[in-house]
Structure 1
Amino acid sequence: MLSPENSADALNKESRTDTVNLNDNDNDNDNDIRIEISDAISEKDKVKFTVYTKTTSPIFQESEFSVTRLHEEFIWLHDRCNENEEYAGLIIPPAPPRPEFDSSRSKLQKLGDSEASLTREEYEKTKQELEAEYLAMFKKTVSMHEVFLQRLAAHPILHNDNNFRIFLEYKEDLSVRGKNTKEQISGFFKTLTKTADEVFLANQKESDEFFEQQKQFLLTYNTKIKDTTTAADKVTRTQKTATDTYIKLSIWLNTLSRSDKTELSKYFLVMADFFENVRKPELRIRSDIDLKLSDILKYYMRDTKAALDLMYRRSRCLADFDAANKNLDRARQKNKDIQQTEIIQQNIKIKFETVSEKAKDELNNFKNRRVQMFRKNLIELTELQIKHTKSQIQMIKSALQQYETISS
């Protein structure tokens, strides 16, 4: 199924048992929208997701329906939400990461090319690990796309978004294309402008203590979570190196046990079995850390960036409000265009107050959601680590008993 020569791989909901779950909402009301990605097919240059929706919301024409969507269409939906002025006071759920299967496919291809230089046992074990790695990555990709839609569906405002409804309900292709060169250049300059604006607003005087504390916390937290994510990735990479070494040790010791004609051959065989057996829980430990820690860190790294984007939009509104107040003072001093300037100032004031009110709720929800999710996953990870460690201890005891039996 996952061999390098295959051009497409499929994943259905029955096979997705160990995926990251970041959706802690379980609302059951008149506007309930339940979304899952029931199927996904990976082709060479794209992944097709089958999005299944079940709803009681009156904004949809049917109560159950499904559509096929590409990753680019998820990005389109995220961008439309992010650019909507009405959502300036909201934390827009982070867009799902682009599917990256080239590395795993390349490893499988290289393994196939080097088959002649490996023993059959080493080839099969390495192939199984690479296939498992590819499948795990595919599952997580599907899960992250699903979480993005579930976050939108659970949000009291975003679930009514017209583009979201079109994304879920419109049966045809959305005809979303990648950005052309002109649009990419335009996006680059927008990013530069935003970065310069953020620097300008960094020393902005904030009268609301809540937002000042939130800004300082998010800036510090953003740095810390990036560092922690990097450290967690290093742990899983090191564990991958260790399990790869276990394969080689097991094979080499097996070879020694067959070639050695002395009593040592029995010891070699016991050690070969030990490294093969201990490799399996070590793989599960790595998978658990990746799933319960690394993936959560990566997700909340992106979610923190979304919260900082919200803070930037509010800071921009505050700067506009301060500028409007100054313009109104000047208009009154000159006794010119007072009524027009007052209307502009009032509109900007209303926008700033609306954004601030929504932002407080969003930031409080972000804190509660984040704390609950990390607590849940760290407890589960600790319990799994204890379970796997106990299993490894039993394996060590069993190997020692076998040594004692051989020696007696």
Structure 2
Amino acid sequence: MTLSLRLPDGAGGLQTYQLVGQPIAHGNYAPATSRLAFAAAHVVPDPLADNSPGAPAVIDWEHTLEFRRHLWSLGLSVAEAMDTAQRGMGLDWPATKELIRRSAAEAPTRAHDGADDGATKRIAVGVGTDQLIAGVHPLDAVIAAYEEQLAVAEEAGAQPILMASRALCAAAGSPDDYRKVYDRLLSQSSRPVILHWLGSMFDPALAGYWGSDSLDTAAEVVVELINENAAHVDGIKISLLDASKEVALRNRLPQGVRLYTGDDFNYPSLIRGDGERYSDALLGIFAAIAPAAAAALKALDEGDLTQYDEVFAPTVPLARQIFSAPTYYYKTGIAFLAWLNGHQPGFGMVGGLQTGRSLPHLADTFRLADAAGVLTNPELAVDRFRKLLVVGGVDA
């Protein structure tokens, strides 16, 4: 059966689009053995609650947790309570605490991988400072906020990800202030943490993180910090959308410290590596292309690089579309595809962020998702998007 609908063409008109993609077969996958792979998961709002901008987030726990089970079933680990879950863009700290506790309680374990002693849960959680109100705070207050969230992560038994902090960026006057904060936190964590470097395209409030607007100068601070605390650092996740900067940093990390790519533009080549070094993965796009990510990582485990490239290649245009400027609205595309694929009952987001992308943008996202084979139920996807277009005033 041929499926089609009329989509905005980007020039103010409509064109009939016939679906062409073959959905990637969904199955249960074991976790990859050659790479660690985290998908940063979004949250599903309660459609009967007031999730308008500025209101406290009210989460649909059934569908939010079911989406995490979906990711685990594909062999992926979950990066919880990250920017993909709308930290700083609709998800408040009380809802975040509950999210961490509920998700960690359901997380399966993975075998010993050299990073931790014994089995560890297949979940890592964002630890930040977003319980502080916007503004400039003393460094001690920033440290206390981090410590409060670190305690929640440790109580839940989840690996901490020390997220880049708007409050720290506003408070720090020099790289030494970053060293003071991170040295304190790393010495307190009971297990190696994942550091987090999020570029300003993801959050403009993080411009100049690590004490410099120069990425090269900032990288010197990061390398020095990791070298001085290597026993307390599992790895660092960087999201700069610059593959050359990531490779340069990766090549300078001490033995045993991982580079988790957060580059949603260049992930296939970075994960594949250069024959000597490679990046593990902690990616928002993996939530949107989870079946493809699972299939590609399985091919990599089996040494089938041709299949690896063939699976990942059509997902890159989709990723570049979802993460196009303004990049921080990528979260809308993640939720949009989750809705099309039946993982949530409505196209909604906490804080009303579903309005962050236009219908023409979503139409292009739909086309590229079809081409990448990640519309897992094409009939459902067509029916749902047609209804959204009609509500938006488009005769689809």
TM-score, scaled to structure 1 = 0.25
Higher helix residue share: 1
More strand as a share of residues: 2
